A and B are shown apart, each in its own frame.
Chain A
Amino acid sequence: MPAELGALLLADGRLPTGGHAHSGGLEPALAAGAGPDDVPRYLEARLRTVGLVEATAAVLTLRRCRTAGADVDEVQVALRARMPSAPARTASELLGRGLARLARRLWPEHPAVAALDSLGAPPLRPVALGVVGAAVGMSDAQVARASLYDDAQTVAAAALKLLPVDPTDATRWLLDAGPTLEEIVARALTCTGPDTMPATTAPLVEQYSLDHASRSRRIFVA
């Protein structure tokens, strides 16, 4: 499959992987007091922290999938160690399982897809993304960008449901985040292995995710 088409598929919210039930932590951030004007900074903060870590994990997974018998589990373990919030891991696993489910149906013969079964736990979203990237022949930069764009678009799309926001303004947020996003893509590509994976965290986002998990009234999974 042409890599360009794969990249478009992965960036499309209509791809059936369960993403529409996620807000990238925006719902609990708003519950904690953030408002419409804070969303661009929230996007930027995610890109520079969890966004960087996840994009790096996706790229490392992709690279390992290109060599037969490579160990994706090591990337998954390194990424899990960088996700201290259990609800955030669970949410990422749900998205990862959604992608993996799709990949098993679409590319059952691809070795990287088959290797998903040997993981000890459900794949986290970035790991599944790297595997799908390998299955459709995407480049490192395409996969890093897809990871970051998906995260930012998840937040922006959820904002339309949660806040009094004009959809055009939400689109502008994404465009304005473009330079940061490209900067993070470049940084994700410089990482050489799980042992040097960045570990930038966003403690407030983690705290919000814990608060969210114990709420009984919520619209989004996380």
Chain B
Amino acid sequence: MPEHPTRPFRLGVAGPVGTGKSTVLATLCRELSAELSMAVVTNDIYTDEDARLLRAAEVLPVERIKAVETGACPHTAIRDDITANLLAVEDLESTFAPLELVVVESGGDNLTATFSPGLVDAQIFCLDVAGGGDVARKGGPGIERADLLLINKTDLAPYVEVDVDRMVSDAVAVRDGFPVLALSRNDPASIVRLSDWVRQVVAGYRAGRHVAHDPGPMAPHTHAHP
């Protein structure tokens, strides 16, 4: 059982390019910043676009939004060498102490990119319907074992000929009990479900009940002894 934590809860949001990660961050800030003291870190690949998007959305005071450059290696910055992200998170934590929730957005990357357990306590993996209905079935560490999988932009499903229910049930089938959430920024009920999920993991963390687990880059496997 983990001890009662002394630092804020750190939540990662990863997933392929353009699936709506920054929008999810904006949504979480809008929904939760009145009840939780928050800050965010973005990892941009080529610009500070994401940080600017969030600053422009005016969902959080601009000083609480930090952009980290990743040298064209977004997956390295969240997994193999998390130094730049840790420095940014720690700076925010000391400047705005006591923070309660820090959200780190990964630069858009491929399906195998997941956060190091050294950087975040839990992670959301974000897919969208526009990437194709079969992506969830393809699996991968984030899809299969992130703490929460989002199937985002469900409002677009009719235009891209994707059956959301089918995509969600494909995801449920590969996730071995981990939750899946269909989300759209135009669907208030889905936003409530997302916010509630975050509230619940933050509360669990504070109570010392949260058990961090690593989706890993590899599927967990066992070797049968002959």
A171 to chain B, nearest CB (A): 19
Task: Judge if B71 is at the interface, Cβ distance under 8 Å.
Answer: yes
Known: A20-B76, A21-B77. A220 touches B83 (CB 8 A): no
- Central interface residue in A18, A22, A219, by most chain B CB within 10 Å: A18
Selected contact of A221 from candidates B47, B71, B76, B86, CB within 8 Å: B71
Task: Judge if B211 is at the interface, Cβ distance under 8 Å.
Answer: no
Task: Judge if B48 is at the interface, Cβ distance under 8 Å.
Answer: yes
Tell whether, in the assembled complex, residue A219 and residue B46 are in contact, meaning their CB atoms are under 8 Å apart.
Answer: yes
Task: Judge if A196 is at the interface, Cβ distance under 8 Å.
Answer: no
A99 CA to B208 CA, complexed, in Å: 31
Tell whether, in the assembled complex, residue A220 and residue B71 are in contact, meaning their CB atoms are under 8 Å apart.
Answer: yes
**A154 and chain B: residue at smallest CB distance:** B71
Chain A residue contacts of B47, Cβ below 8 A: 216-218
Chain B residue contacts of A180, Cβ below 8 A: none
Tell whether, in the assembled complex, residue A101 and residue B87 are in contact, meaning their CB atoms are under 8 Å apart.
Answer: yes
- Interface size in chain B (residues, C-beta < 8 A): 19
Task: Judge if B84 is at the interface, Cβ distance under 8 Å.
Answer: yes
A40 to chain B, nearest CB (A): 22
Tell whether, in the assembled complex, residue A101 and residue B72 are in contact, meaning their CB atoms are under 8 Å apart.
Answer: no
Question: What are the interface flags for B78-104 relative to A under an 8 Å C-beta threshold, 1 for contact and 0 otherwise?
Answer: 001111101100000000000000000
Chain B residue contacts of A17, Cβ below 8 A: 81, 83
Question: What are the interface flags for B32-45 relative to A under an 8 Å C-beta threshold, 1 for contact and 0 otherwise?
Answer: 00000000000001
Interface residues in chain A, defined as those with a beta carbon under 8 Å from any beta carbon in chain B:
14, 16-23, 94, 97-98, 101-102, 158, 161, 216-221
Known: A17-B83, A18-B81, A158-B71. 10 other contacts (CB 8 A): A19-B81, A20-B77, A20-B81, A21-B70, A98-B83, A98-B87, A102-B83, A218-B69, A220-B69, A221-B84
Interface residues in chain B, defined as those with a beta carbon under 8 Å from any beta carbon in chain A:
45-48, 68-73, 76-77, 80-84, 86-87
